[in-house]
Amino acid sequence: MMRKICVITGSRSEYFLLKPVLTHLQESSKVELQLLVTGNHLSAKFGNTLKDIENDGFLVRGKVDIAVEDESADYVNKSIALGVSGISGQLLALRPDIVLILGDRYEILAAAIAALTLRMPIAHIHGGEKTIGAMDDSIRHAITKMSSIHFTSHESYKNRIIQMGEAAEHVYMVGSLGAEIASTTDLFTKEELEADLGLRFSKKNLLVTFHPETLSNDSPLEQITNLLKSLEVMKDTTIVLTFPNADEGNAEIIKTLNVFVEQGKRRYLYKSLGINRYLSVAKVCDAVIGNSSSGVIEIPSIGVATINVGMRQEGRIMPNSVINCAINENEISKALDRLYSPEFQSTLDNITNPLAQKDTAKTITSILESKNIEHIIFKDFVDL
């Protein structure tokens, strides 16, 4: 009998990481792939990326809409509640042998809660990491304790999961899917991007991706304003911006980004570029600037610098191509000066991504195909 594996995705960035695993699972003769879609994928505000999944040739077995109309302070809690209820119903209908999830967003927390209470084994990708400036850090560790199988991107993250009481035989260091995707994706040329996206690159080019820093005392409006003030003085520079994710405060950021684009030349804002175009734009640019995990996980694999602002990614393992700075105009300006310095530019020819491993997606698939899952949900806490 084929093993049924249900993969749950709730955001564009996490789907793009899962895509090679989905491809391997779909092609496997040992697995029946069940794909559930929720979160931002079903939102026009964030590009309705469900269509991208379907265009990639994947059959969507279920959709769970967790959108909340109001922007109240507890809309995330309301979305989690909708997610737990809706995903639970879908899982009961599909009856998977394993539920595969990635990351640390609240949509994925809802999926983990639903699978846990239905006694369905959870396999989790990207556990053991630290991101001190976001509540995602706590969500990620909570999902780890709900999961039975763990796929980590670095040996230190594997050790951290074992430190959390998880059995070592169920923790696998496989490397980062994002690093593998970035190093193997065929990228568009500068000319192809200009024709496809309707933009014009300049002498200098920057790609900006900024999300709310959910544990900061500063408002998202203050955070994004500080970043954009440091960019608006850049001359002969094309600035490509992408939408933030669906964290609290994203509406303020989107509004501010729109004003920034309207008030300047060669500024372009996109809801969702897709992984190929995102990496291709990044490759043309001098740096990715913001606080997205892509800047410290994927971008080093294409030999491009990152200016990582604020605390959202603090705690992650980073290569020397990442310049860290505080979210204030002066510090960001200093980071931009360092970016364009001959000394720093000379280091970009020899970037080594510490999260890169060979055949990450294939290894994850192989383990999911063959792992003995009998009694795996009965977990003891392993003391060190």
Count of other CB atoms within 10 angstroms of residue 347: 12
Residues 80 and 113 in one domain: yes
Distance from the Cα of residue 316 to its chain's centroid? 13
Helix, strand, coil percentages in the chain from 3-state DSSP, rounded to 5: 45, 15, 40
Q: In this predicted model, what pLDDT tens digit does every residue of 144-184 receive, in sequence order?
A: 999 999 999 999 999 999 999 999 999 999 999 999 999 99
Residue 251: predicted pLDDT: 85
In a domain, 180, yes or no: no
Are 38 and 109 part of one and the same domain?
Answer: yes
- Distance between CA 115 and CA 156 in Å, rounded? 27
15 plus 108 within the same structural domain? yes
Q: In the chain, how many domains are there?
A: 2
218/155 same-domain check:
no
pLDDT at 135: 82
HEC profile for 9-61? ECCHHHHHHHHHHHHHHHHCCCEEEEEEEEHHHHCHHHCCCHHHHHHCCCCEE
**CA dihedral for 109, 215, 326, 131, sign (positive or negative):** negative
* pLDDT, tens only, 197-235: 999 999 999 999 998 876 666 788 888 999 999 999 999
In this structure, the answer to whether residues 217 and 329 fall within a common structural domain is yes
Sign, Cα dihedral of 246, 247, 253, 255: positive
Residue 377 lies in a domain: no
Domain-embedded: residue 181: no
Output the tens digit of pLDDT for each of the chain's 384 residues: 799 999 999 988 899 899 999 999 999 999 999 999 999 898 877 777 899 999 999 999 999 999 876 666 688 899 999 999 999 999 999 999 999 999 999 999 999 999 999 999 999 999 999 887 778 889 999 999 999 999 999 999 999 999 999 999 999 999 999 999 999 999 999 999 999 999 999 999 999 999 887 666 678 888 899 999 999 999 999 999 999 877 777 888 999 999 999 999 999 999 989 889 999 999 999 999 999 999 999 999 999 999 999 988 988 999 999 999 999 999 999 999 999 999 999 999 889 999 999 999 999 999 999 999 999 999 999 998
Statement to judge: residues 361 and 345 lie in one domain: no
Task: Give the integer Cα–Cα distance in Å for 61 and 52.
Answer: 15
- Which pLDDT belongs to residue 73? 66
Does residue 383 lie in a domain region? no
Query: Could you tell me if 285 and 149 lie in one domain?
Result: no
In the sheet where 322-325 sits, what is the strand order?
A: 267-270, 237-242, 204-209, 287-290, 305-309, 322-325
Contact of 220 with 254, CB cutoff 8 Å:
no
Q: Are residues 167 and 241 in the same domain?
A: no
- Whether the full predicted model's pTM is greater than 0.85, yes or no, is yes
The answer to whether residues 217 and 171 belong to one domain is no
At residue 353, the pLDDT reads 94
- Domain containing residue 246: CATH number: 3.40.50.2000
Are 114 and 81 contacting, i.e. CB atoms less than 8 angstroms apart?
no
Q: What pLDDT sits at residue 44? A: 77
Task: Identify whether 79 is part of a domain.
Answer: yes
Write down the pLDDT at residue 72: 65
223 lies in the same domain as 346: yes
Neighbours of 203 (CB within 10 A): 9
Q: Are residues 151 and 194 in the same domain?
A: no
Question: Which structural domain range is residue 169 located in?
Answer: 3-175+357-370
DSSP 8-state assignment for residue 299: G
Q: Is residue 133 part of a domain?
A: yes
- CA distance readout (Å), 326 to 41, 70, 98, 223: 31, 31, 41, 10
Side-chain-side CA neighbours of 269 within 13 Å: the count stands at: 17
The b-or-e profile of 14-37 (16+ CB within 10 A means b, else e) is: bbbbbbbbbbbbbebeebbbbbbb
Please tell me whether residues 240 and 94 are part of one structural domain. no
Q: Is residue 378 part of a domain?
A: no
- Cα–Cα distance, 290 to 68 (Å, whole number): 27
Query: Helix and strand tally (H, E) in the chain?
Result: 15, 13
Separation CA 186–CA 189 (nearest Å): 10
Q: Is residue 17 part of a domain?
A: yes
Structure tokens at 188: 């568009």
